[in-house]
Amino acid sequence: MWTLFQIEVYKIFRRPRTYIAFAAITGLIGIIQFGLKLDGDQYVEFMMRDITSSITIEGNILNGYQVCYIVLQVLLVHVPLLIALVAADMISGEANMGTLRLLLTKPISRDAFLVAKFMATMVYTLLLLIWLAILALFLNMLIFGTDDLFLLKSSYVVLLKENDIFWRYCGAFAFAALAMSTVAALGFLLSLFANNSIGPIVATMSIIVFLTILSTLNIPLFSYVKPYLFTTHMIGWKEFFDIKVNASNEALSGTIQHPMRIVQSALVLLTHIVLFLLISIWVFRKKDILS
């Protein structure tokens, strides 16, 4: 099993396609950093235009934490596509290349082979998120410095103290990794049903778009299914930035307003991952290799 896992990780990182996602994230974050570094003041002015008349803010608003939040809001919507590029190719890509039949004539169990591939997919997902964290958080902290984080919510403003932010990002990235692992598990499952990777990649994204629309539609009919859709819980990372307030509306450092929501969302995502893996194993055990 360990050998299989090593081989799968080796194969992932020898494929040029793997680096598309890393390059895309690097390019996108680079562009955002470049734009904000050159023209950040105007951006802040635009962002604060509605509240500058009622409150006065001092300090470095466009700091590394702020930029990281902007990056996450923009990128976490698109990262599933980058995840699907590799995850939805894991089995279908082997079928397309014709290597699946060669692999499965070797003395390895199908279950072990599939689990090794799944674990390798998770490693890829995790490394992509770590790369995102390095560029979006650590690099931005270096470029823009650190200060308090100022977040505009729909009906209120959250101000997080500088020393109360870093752990929230750690939690947010860990949660994002779980959410992206769910996408990877879905793509992985769909890759079992095709002999080329285009179909599973498109199918993965279509399902995510479809379920995201269902998750965001405020129609009572769908409210019963929403709590069970993984897409409803994928944005759970934002909960790390909601802080508790006391009776005098003062923020309580080191707190999260709805910690149970995070736990609940994490459990729903984890359940989906396990479910997708179990279905994958069941399908693969019975699958005739015709490619």
Partner 1 sequence: MQPLVKITALTKQFGHLTAVDHLSFSVEPASVYGFLGQNGAGKSTTIRMLTGLIMPTSGEIEIFGLSLAKHKREILQQIGAVIEKPDVYQYLSAYDNLQLFARLSGIRPTRASLMDQLAQVGLAERAKDKVAGFSQGMKQRLGIAIALVHQPQLIILDEPTNGLDPQGIADIRHLIIHLRTEMKKTVIVSSHLLSEIEQVATQLLIIHKGKKVKEGNASELFDPAQTVVQLSTEQNESAWAVIQNSAWAPNLQRITPDGIILKVDRRQIPALHQSLVQLQIPLISLQPRHSLEDYFLQVTTPGYVDTLSN
Q: Which of 1, 3, 42, 278 binds partner 1 (CB under 8 A)?
A: 3
Cα 191 off chain centre by: 19
Q: How far is the CB of 16 from partner 1 (least distance, A)?
A: 7
Please, are residues 211 and 228 in contact by the beta-carbon 8 Å criterion?
Answer: no
Q: How far is the CB of 289 from partner 1 (least distance, A)?
A: 4
* Among 144, 152, 172, 154, CA closest to 240: 172
Q: How far is the CB of 115 from partner 1 (least distance, A)?
A: 15
The answer to whether residue 286 forms part of the interface with partner 1 (CB under 8 A) is: yes
The answer to whether residue 1 forms part of the interface with partner 1 (CB under 8 A) is: no
The answer to whether residue 73 forms part of the interface with partner 1 (CB under 8 A) is: no
The answer to whether residue 2 forms part of the interface with partner 1 (CB under 8 A) is: no
Q: 134: which DSSP letter?
A: I
Distance CA 92, CA 280 (A): 13
H-type alpha helices, the chain:
2-14, 18-47, 64-75, 79-87, 92-97, 99-103, 110-133, 140-144, 166-190, 198-216, 220-223, 230-233, 259-286
Q: Which of 5, 11, 143, 259 binds partner 1 (CB under 8 A)?
A: 11
Distance CA 92, CA 188 (A): 9
Contact pattern from residue 84 through residue 113 relative to partner 1, giving x for each residue in contact according to CB under 8 A and a dash for the rest = -------------xxx-xxxxxxxxx----
The answer to whether residue 283 forms part of the interface with partner 1 (CB under 8 A) is: no
- Kindly identify the residues of this chain, within the stretch 125-184, that bind partner 1 according to CB under 8 A: none
Whose Cβ is closer to partner 1: residue 16's or residue 220's?
16
The answer to whether residue 220 forms part of the interface with partner 1 (CB under 8 A) is: no
Distance CA 182, CA 81 (A): 12
The answer to whether residue 59 forms part of the interface with partner 1 (CB under 8 A) is: no
Stretch that binds partner 1, among 7-15, 73-81, 167-175, 178-186 (CB under 8 A): 7-15
Helix/strand/coil (H, E, C) string of 156-198?
A: CEEEECHHHCHHHHHHHHHHHHHHHHHHHHHHHHHHHHCCCCH
Distance CA 185, CA 272 (A): 8
Whose Cβ is closer to partner 1: residue 260's or residue 290's?
290
Tokens of 252: 């309580």
Q: How far is the CB of 130 from partner 1 (least distance, A)?
A: 24
Q: How far is the CB of 2 from partner 1 (least distance, A)?
A: 11
What residues make contact with partner 1 under the rule CB under 8 A? 3-4, 7, 10-11, 14-16, 97-99, 101-109, 286, 288-290
